[in-house]
Amino acid sequence: MAELTTVAFYLVPIVLFGPLLFFVLWQLGLKDVIRPSEALKASRQAARQAAKDAASGEARKQAKVHFTKHRREEGRSPVRLILQAVCYVGFAALIGYLSARPTYTWLGPDLAEIKLSLSHPGQHVAPCVKRTREELMALPPNMRAPQKCSRERVPVTLQMELDGDLLFDRTRKPEGLSGDGASTFYARLRVPAGEHRLVLRLRDNRTGEGFDAVKDVALTLEPAQLLAITYRTDQGFVLR
Amino acid sequence: MLKVIQTTLQGPLLRAEGLFDHPFGAHWNPMRQLGTLSFFFYWIVAVSGIFVYVFFETSVTGAHGSIEYMTVQQWYFAGVMRSLHRYASDAMVMTTVLHMSREFITDRYRGVRWFTWFTGVPILWFLYGSGISGYWLVWDQLAQYVAIGSMEWLDWLGIFGEPIANNFLTRGSLGDRFFSLLVFMHIFLPLFLLFIMWIHLLKINRPRINPPGGLALGSLLMLIALSLVYPATSHPPADLGTVPTVLGLDWFYMILYPVFDTWGAGMMWAAALGVSMFVAFMPWLPPLRRAKPAEVQLDKCNGCTRCFEDCPFGAISMKPRSDGRPYTQEAVVDPRYCTSCGLCVGSCPVSTPFRKTDQLLSGIEIPGLTLRLLREKVDAAVAGLAPPDPAGKPGVVLFGCDHGADIEQFQDGSVAVVRIPCVGMLAPSFIDYILSRSGAAGVMLSGCRDGDCYHRLGIRWTEDRMDGLRDPYLRERVPRARIRTLWAAPNEPGKIGRGLATFQADLAAAPADIQAGEPADKPAPAA
């Protein structure tokens, strides 16, 4: 079932939008590239011939130019060239200035940043049950797992407290169509630089009470310092 | 609502554009070459990018150093190329956005132009994607800021198992492999951009993709000078253990990042997609206008291909003859792309008013203004002219188009006014007809502003036809001194008035034979 869902996940856009994209490209001219009609070939031949005739310049040489003369005389007088230079300088100044100015302050002075980024699966919604001998025998040999577990996992709650203030408190559902993936957290928090007491709490149990991992740490953040916080099942909270 | 915005902005735009006419002239005016300039800047970016890539080290640890080497040690060439790469990209954003705004303000995005407009929206996305991915590669503090912001924006979609922003989480998080992916993105996004730019032009006949030589040269010199005077530089190297504080953003590409910092990813997605969708579907918003398309009159069409060549939107194709007449081809109109501008009528060699009324039919006709109706319109206008008076102003027939300056205000006893959809609809034989058959002393052709024909090619084909550069030609016998062209924007009726007065004064001062015109069967002296 999971494989089918995954395959469908990739196939649906291809099946839905693939023909549409192909149709659009076909209408746009792919058909003319792949299989030009006789009429189109004739049109192209006519266009090529016309371009050839025009390029020969016979008509141009013989013409007494009155109404098209101004096209060739444009922008060449010294005064115009000087004025053009002024315009170019203005354009260049605008490009040069806006390519790097005015400056933008992303992080103010005396601030640091804490980045929370973790991906952690909660416990299964129901506890695993040991299969009886009869149940195991009823299964095909390749599927005789000793325990029967539900796929769905519980949401995970993450809290971050800094100097007694609760700055982050979120509960995330597990990812995946069946709710069997990890719960993912990502957040950037700006805090004053200096000494702090940081408390991190994580709940991943199915009872929804208490916290399964807690870290209480005193730390000093330098201005513009980035503190990344992750979580590993074997190590708990990791501060880098 | 859109109409109100258009009308409000049109005046200032036309005035601003007019300012550039003085130094550049109509055909070099950069405001009328925004699309071609965008192409030109793309090529500069491509060439300079290939050069920079040769010296670029595609690794996290080496990228910044290699660019610094180009900027500092090789400032006189590689540094200039790097600066060119950046500044041409910025210039391209500017010309592209201006181009799109201008097409909207001048109402050139609806009807048959929907395709070009619609495909312009993904161009903006690819353009921004190309530019932003380029900034990542410098791998300085600015790259760090932009990369993390971009990844967080993408992560909001929730389509990645792990946040891709985690690749930038701590020192050592970013590997050379992921960095190589960024390099590939910066190569393939511009290629896709070029592909979309090609699609963008598919439904335009004779698209202009190169600016006039002088303008191209000036723009290139401008960018080189800027690169030498104010070379592009990098921020300090990226450090994922610290947070960049003060950044010199490239506002052409990064204007949305501070907004992202304020609004958050969800709002940014909503705004970006909402605005894009709205802009993309603007051509179908009311008021919808659709003129009846041109109709081919097969019994008059000999398949000469002139209408096919002259149609500005490629609405006409040549197909094998279907009526058994001894010609190989016939013109066929695709109504989806026909604007009813009438340029095809002007190009048809059969479109001559020198025929009996019952034979007055062109090979291709505009339903609202057939050749017969056009001649009747001209005859009626000429009939309104006062009889020639040596002491009065010479009579002039003034032609104007639907998108140029208002010409009705000039109608009086000495000026007969005829309005047509596009000046290119007027076959040269009509000028001959007026000057040889009526008492008018002159014909004045006005239309949109020079270099800015609403139907793209009307002015160009008109001038070419009169100078014998393009079929159908204006006959040699027609004295050119009795014809004048004056191209003016809708906000320049005064220019028409002044031109008209000058023309009438010139005609009054002209020798008697030119003023009165020669008989139709005798060649006129050279003007």
Facing residue for A107 by CB, picked from B218, B226, B244: B244
In a domain, B13, yes or no: no
- Nearest Cα of chain A lies from the Cα of B374 at a distance, in angstroms, of 24
Across the interface, do B245 and A105 touch by the CB < 8 Å criterion?
A: yes
Phi and psi of A147, rounded to 5°?
-120, 150
User: Which residues of chain B have a CB within 8 Å of the CB of A229?
Assistant: none
In a domain, B248, yes or no: no
b/e burial code for range B13-47 (CB count within 10 A of at least 16 → b): bbeebbebbebbbbbbbbbbbbbbbbbbbbbbbbe
Interface of A with B in 120-179 (CB under 8 A): 175
pLDDT of B525 reads: 41
Query: Looking at the structure, do residues B279 and B304 belong to the same domain, yes or no?
Result: no
User: Which residues of chain B have a CB within 8 Å of the CB of A73?
Assistant: 25
Query: Looking at the structure, do residues B44 and B137 belong to the same domain, yes or no?
Result: yes
Across the interface, do A117 and B163 touch by the CB < 8 Å criterion?
A: yes
Architecture of domain A111-239: Sandwich (2.60)
Which residues make Cβ contacts (< 8 Å) with residue B358, sequence separation at least 6? none
Task: Give the domain ranges of chain A.
Answer: 64-98, 111-239
- Nearest Cα of chain A lies from the Cα of B9 at a distance, in angstroms, of 21
In a domain, B244, yes or no: no
Is the minimum CB–CB distance between B258 and chain A shorter than 8 Å? yes
Query: Looking at the structure, do residues B43 and B110 belong to the same domain, yes or no?
Result: yes
Query: Looking at the structure, do residues B279 and B299 belong to the same domain, yes or no?
Result: no
β-sheet bridge partners, residue B104: none
Query: Looking at the structure, do residues B309 and B161 belong to the same domain, yes or no?
Result: no
Complex ipTM, two decimals?
0.86
Angstrom distance (rounded) from CA B313 to CA B290: 15
Residue B506 burial by CB count (10 A; 0-12/13-18/19+): exposed, middle or buried?
middle
Across the interface, do A67 and B305 touch by the CB < 8 Å criterion?
A: no
Cα–Cα nearest to B334, from B311, B308, B316, B309: B316
Across the interface, do B214 and A76 touch by the CB < 8 Å criterion?
A: yes
- Nearest Cα of chain B lies from the Cα of A131 at a distance, in angstroms, of 32
Angstrom distance (rounded) from CA B420 to CA B345: 12
Is the minimum CB–CB distance between B228 and chain A shorter than 8 Å? no
Across the interface, do B469 and A92 touch by the CB < 8 Å criterion?
A: no
Interface test with B, best of A81, A83, A89, A91 (most B CBs within 10 A): A91
Cα–Cα nearest to B463, from B503, B423, B499: B423
β-sheet bridge partners, residue B100: none
Interface of A with B in 57-86 (CB under 8 A): 59-60, 62-68, 70-71, 73-76, 80, 83-84, 86
User: Which residues of chain A have a CB within 8 Å of the CB of B247?
Assistant: 103-106
Q: SS3 for B445? A: strand
Query: Which two three-digit tokens encode residue B282?
Result: 């603007």
pLDDT of B276 reads: 94
- B461 and B504 Cβ atoms separated by less than 8 Å: no
Q: SS3 for A175? A: coil
Map tokens 């004056």 to a residue. B486
- B412 and B393 Cβ atoms separated by less than 8 Å: no
- B164 and B236 Cβ atoms separated by less than 8 Å: no
Across the interface, do B246 and A104 touch by the CB < 8 Å criterion?
A: yes
β-sheet bridge partners, residue A189: A114
pLDDT of A59 reads: 53
Query: Looking at the structure, do residues B50 and B190 belong to the same domain, yes or no?
Result: yes
Domain CATH code at residue B234 = 1.20.810.10
In a domain, B124, yes or no: yes
- Minimum CA–CA partner of A120 in chain B: B162
pLDDT of B336 reads: 86
Query: Looking at the structure, do residues B319 and B277 belong to the same domain, yes or no?
Result: no
The secondary structure element, H or E, covering residue B151 is: helix B141-155
Residuewise pLDDT in 10s, chain B (527 residues): 778 888 889 889 988 998 998 899 888 899 999 999 999 999 999 999 999 998 898 888 889 999 999 999 888 888 999 999 999 999 999 999 999 999 999 989 988 888 899 999 999 999 999 999 999 999 999 999 999 999 999 988 877 777 888 888 888 888 888 888 889 999 999 999 999 999 999 888 888 889 988 899 999 999 999 999 999 999 999 998 899 999 999 999 999 999 998 898 899 999 999 999 999 999 988 777 677 899 999 999 999 999 999 999 889 999 999 988 889 899 999 998 898 999 999 999 999 998 887 778 899 999 989 999 999 999 999 988 887 777 778 899 999 998 888 898 998 888 999 999 999 999 999 999 999 887 788 999 998 988 889 999 999 999 999 888 888 888 888 888 899 999 988 888 898 999 999 999 988 887 665 555 444 444 434 33
A1: pLDDT strictly greater than 60: no
Question: What is the domain range of residue B505?
Answer: 295-516
Is the minimum CB–CB distance between B244 and chain A shorter than 8 Å? yes
Query: Looking at the structure, do residues B79 and B221 belong to the same domain, yes or no?
Result: yes
Query: Looking at the structure, do residues B345 and B425 belong to the same domain, yes or no?
Result: yes
- Nearest Cα of chain B lies from the Cα of A214 at a distance, in angstroms, of 22
In a domain, B290, yes or no: no
- Minimum CA–CA partner of B200 in chain A: A28
- The secondary structure of B362-394 as a DSSP string is -SEEBTTB-HHHHHHHHHHHHHTSPPP-TTSPP
pLDDT of B521 reads: 40
- Minimum CA–CA partner of A110 in chain B: B245
Across the interface, do A39 and B320 touch by the CB < 8 Å criterion?
A: yes
- Minimum CA–CA partner of A67 in chain B: B463
Cα–Cα nearest to B470, from A1, A62, A13: A62
Number of domains in chain B: 2
Looking only at the bridges linking them, the beta strands covering B396-401 and B442-447 are parallel
Query: Looking at the structure, do residues B269 and B351 belong to the same domain, yes or no?
Result: no
- Minimum CA–CA partner of A25 in chain B: B199
Cα–Cα nearest to B515, from B524, B350, B275, B523: B524
- Nearest Cα of chain A lies from the Cα of B356 at a distance, in angstroms, of 31
Interface test with B, best of A12, A21, A38, A68 (most B CBs within 10 A): A68
Interface of B with A in 28-47 (CB under 8 A): 28, 30
Mean pLDDT across A30-43: 70
Query: Looking at the structure, do residues B454 and B325 belong to the same domain, yes or no?
Result: yes
In a domain, B334, yes or no: yes
Query: Looking at the structure, do residues B327 and B448 belong to the same domain, yes or no?
Result: yes
In a domain, B391, yes or no: yes
